[in-house]
Amino acid sequence: MSRTASMDALLADALTSDYSAETATTHRTTRSLIIAALCAAVVTMVLGIALTQNREQAGQNSLTRQALIERVKTSDARVAAQEADVRQAQYDLAAAEKAILAGTSLGDAAQKRLQRLRVAAGYTPVTGEGVQVSIQDALPDPTVTAGAVQPGRIMDRDLQMLVNGLWQAGATAITVNNRRLTSTSAIRSAGEAILVDYRPLVPPYSVKAISDDADSLAGRFRSNQAGLLLEQLARRYGVVWSLETIGQTTLPAATSNFGGN
C-alpha cells in the first residue's frame, strides 16, 4: 500500500471517529434537554395542581369561617332576645307577686323574704356602695417570637381568683363586664377567650362589687390572697390592674343560669 493511500485511510478513520463522537455528544445533549423539559413540565404541572388545590382549600376555609361567624352572630342574637324575654318575665312576675301579696301582714312578710332570696340568688338588681377592679393583659413583649404565648395574659383562673377574693372580702353582689354572677356562674376559657356563663368576654375586664362599706371592702381585698396575687402578677408579668371605689352603683339582675363551676 502506498504512503498516500495509508494517509487517506488514517484521515478517513479520524473523520469517521470525530463524526461519531460529535453525533453521540449531540444525541446525549438532545436527550438531556428532552429530560429537562419533561421534568420542568412535570414540576410545573405538580405546582399548578398544588396551587389550584390550595386556592380551593382557601376558598372552602373562607366559606366555613364565614358560616361559623354567621352561626355565632345568629346564636348571640337569639340569646340576647331570650335574655330580654327573661328580664320581662322577671318584671311581670314581681308585679304579679306584689299585686297578690300586698295588703296583708303575711303578704308583706312573704314579699320581703322573696326579695332577700332574689338578691342572694342574683335575680334582681341591687344597689349599694361599689368598688371596681379593672384588669387587662400586659403590653405585648416584642422579644417574644411570633406564635408564642405572650407573658402577662389574663387567664380564666385569674378572674376566678379575683372574684373569689371579692366574695371573701365581703361583697354581696358582683358583675364581670356587667354580667351578674350567681352561685352557679361559671368562669371558664375556650381557646383564648374567657367565658362567663358560656358568654365570651371582651378585655379589658371590669369587675364591680357592692357591699355596705366600699372602703372596707377595698381594703380587705387589697390585703387578702387575691389582692396580693394581683400585685405579684403586675410586678412579674406587667399585668395592668386598678382598684377604686365608685360610690352608689346598681348592678343588673342575672339573666341566665347555665350551671355551676
> Could you give the 3-state DSSP secondary structure of residue 43?
helix
Range 131-156 average pLDDT: 80
Q: How far apart, in Å, are the Cα atoms of 123 and each of 18, 29, 91, 116, 254? A: 104, 88, 10, 10, 5
Contact indicator for 133, 242 with CB cutoff of 8 Å: yes
- Please give the order of strands across the beta sheet that includes 193-196: 187-190, 193-196, 199-200
Q: Which residue has the higher pLDDT, 55 or 25?
A: 55
pTM equals 0.63
- Name 189's bridge partners: 194
Give the model confidence (pLDDT) of 47-87 as tens digits. 778 777 777 777 777 777 777 777 777 877 887 788 788 77
pLDDT band at 257 (very low <50, low <70, confident <90, very high): very low
Question: Distance (Å, rounded) from C-alpha 3 to C-alpha 257?
Answer: 118
C-alpha cell at 81: 332576645
